[in-house]
Amino acid sequence: MKASDIMASNVICVDIDERLPKVRQTMEDYGIHHLPVVEKEKLVGIISDRDLLRVMSPFIGSVSETPRDTDTLNRAAHQAMTRQPITVNADTSIEEIVAWFKRVDISCLPVVDDEKHVVGIISWRDLVNHATFS
């Protein structure tokens, strides 16, 4: 079994300069927790819902909101993303993927081709669903 057997292949990506409100809206619209960040169609990072929570003010939209809080909305994806994420290719074995999840505190792995184009993504949920239904 390999990455291509369980990866999600219709991957939604965001541009490196996309503003965080649009990133957050994309995640909400598609019910996803991770977005690969690309520059000229090549993977440069990954941004998670946890990254957004970390960099965006929790006071936005509340009575306590200040101009400093709204300034966090002007940040771009590259200011919140994890740079140089760990990646795998479509032929990477499931065993190696599981080893990455166990060894490093990550919850998804982008699947890229030789030119760093995103061809898929695997989350820990994909592994659980595969193990549950195999």
**Domains held by the chain: number:** 1
- Residue 82, classed as helix, strand or coil, is strand
Q: Which residue has tokens 């390999």?
A: 2
pLDDT score for 57:
65
Mean pLDDT for all residues in the chain? 89
Asked whether residue 132 carries a pLDDT value surpassing 70, the answer given is no
pLDDT score for 53:
86
pLDDT per residue as tens digits for the range 24-52: 999 999 999 999 999 999 999 999 999 98
Taking the C-alpha atoms of residue 94 and residue 45, their distance in angstroms, rounded to an integer, is: 22
pLDDT score for 14:
97
Q: Which residue has tokens 């965001």?
A: 14
At residue 39, φ and ψ (nearest 5 deg) are -135, 120
Q: Would strands 14-15 and 34-39 be described as parallel, antiparallel, or unpaired?
A: parallel
Average pLDDT value for residue range 84-109: 93
Domain boundaries, position 52 = 3-133
> In CATH, what number is assigned to the domain containing residue 96?
3.10.580.10
